[in-house]
Chains A and B, each alone.
Chain A
Amino acid sequence: MARIEYQEQLEQLREDVLEMGDVVCQRLRRALEAYETTDAALANRVIAGDHEVNELYLDLEGECIDLFALQQPVAGDLRFIASSFKIITDLERIADLAVNLAEYAKRGDPERYPDIDVVHIGTEIVLLVEDAMRAYATNDADATYEVAATDDEIDELCGRASRIVARDLVETDVVDDDLLEEVSRMLLTIRDLERVGDHAVNIAARTLYMVENDDELIY
């Protein structure tokens, strides 16, 4: 094995990206917990901790740029670093959406829509992000297709939830500002959860490209 230090740097990057994935999934779970328990203090901790994810992101971006500039990677190494570079952006966006969720948790009324199980949808989506990161960790191309298929099911769930909100609004006789605020908050919650799922698919798509040089899942 030649270029030992370079190989070690590649392995370090993989470990660091996986660690960032763990941190982001943990933030998402805490935001969901805050939403479920209406725990404002926990929500605030999620919001306040976002800068740590941003710093992780910048560190990893630097690692990728250094590898590009100093090692001129090609072939599988190039696809690995390029994919990692994209995946950390998706992880950083997921952390931003976890912050949004924590904000909604502070002001929302979870009892307002008993037919919408935000925590269930959110939990499914966290699992999806974890599946995508596991595919990245294990170079599992088959698993990336499963992530994309599961996201389609989650999109259905989110679509149904949005329709419940819309129907409820249409069927309500007195529409006041409080209701409108609650409606928009719930629609934003559903939309942001759906976006987390889209980022999970992006991670899967970049992983498929990394493993198979196949861009089928990219957009």
Chain B
Amino acid sequence: MSTEEQSLITTEVQTENTTRADRPDETVLEARSLDVYYGQDQALTDVSIEIPEHKVTAMIGPSGCGKSTFLRSINRMNDQIDACRVDGELSFHGKNVYDEDVDPVALRRKIGQVFQKPNPFPKSIYENVAYGLRVQGTVDDVDLDDAVEQALRGAALWDEVEGKLDSSGLDLSGGQQQRLCIARAIATDPEVILMDEPTSALDPVAASKIEDLIDELVEEYTVVIVTHNMQQAARISDRTAVFLTGGELVEFDDTASIFEDPADDRVEDYITGKFG
């Protein structure tokens, strides 16, 4: 074997051993000087952040700090609130999602969302996942069956529901319902999944399954998660953004840096519980 061949093998092995944290950052979402108002109230103040692809980015901060507002701004869920006004820029792959030519429905297919409370449709497990695919135009039954199975597998739910796809999604446990919602979100092949406190309504075992799932999902998708559970942010995220009162993004860094040696004293006070 030539030296060159050996060197190629060595490189391959090194690449396989590279951890998620070591991968170079490719920005998928970027906010620049983002301000969000609800009527006269300012919910986000001059937020600038670059969210890396195929990583888990956690948003933490006290209630009312604007972290959920930021999440909803990403896929324009705030459009549904009449009094909401957005200034500044929020781009997805360099394109401002607030440009007039952006279709919010199409945007939400690329940037899916999972909510705090599991919210399956009152339909069968199969239809919960197939719904978005039908809307998107996947009509072939075989393709649809495959896509539903793949989505359910991707959400680590397939083994538990394989024999009862016609049962109502509402008959599943809370944790299973949340994974069904994740399956629904990934069925339309998004690039980003936004999660707004996805485990806060679940028991610890169900929550840990979701956390394991997030760890797998990030191989295929970018995950942005809002959580009140700081230990959860520390466990599962690569980057952590800390919002504080007034909708200010105070610090954004590697999760280990935030939880071991935050640069901002206000962040130190918040995460150690001295805040307030």
Contacts and interface: CB of A to CB of B under 8 A. Distances in A.
A199 interface: no
A186 to B, nearest CB: 45
Interface stretch (B98-106, B122-130, B159-167, B266-274): B266-274
A78 B260 contact: yes
Interface string A1-37: 1110011000000000000000000000000000000
Given A79-B261, A213-B260, A74 B230 contact: yes
A75 B274 CA distance: 12
A2 B260 contact: no
A4 to B, nearest CB: 10
B268 A76 contact: yes
A75 B271 contact: yes
Secondary structure call for the B interface: helix
B276 interface: yes
B218 to A, nearest CB: 22
Nearest to B231: A72
B250 to A, nearest CB: 14
Interface residues of B, number: 16
A6 B273 contact: yes
B260 A1 contact: no
Interface string A188-219: 00000000000000000000000001000000
Nearest to A7: B274
B267 to A, nearest CB: 8
A139 to B, nearest CB: 14
A77 interface: yes
A73 interface: yes
A86 B271 CA distance: 23
B259 A74 contact: yes
Nearest to A213: B261
Contacts of B275: 2
A78 B273 contact: no
Nearest to A76: B268
| For the complex of A and B, 9 pairs with smallest distance between CB atoms | A213-B261, A3-B273, A74-B259, A77-B272, A75-B268, A74-B271, A2-B273, A2-B276, A75-B262
Given A2-B273, A77-B272, 4 more contacts: A7-B274, A74-B259, A75-B272, A79-B261
Interface of A: 1-3, 6-7, 72-79, 213
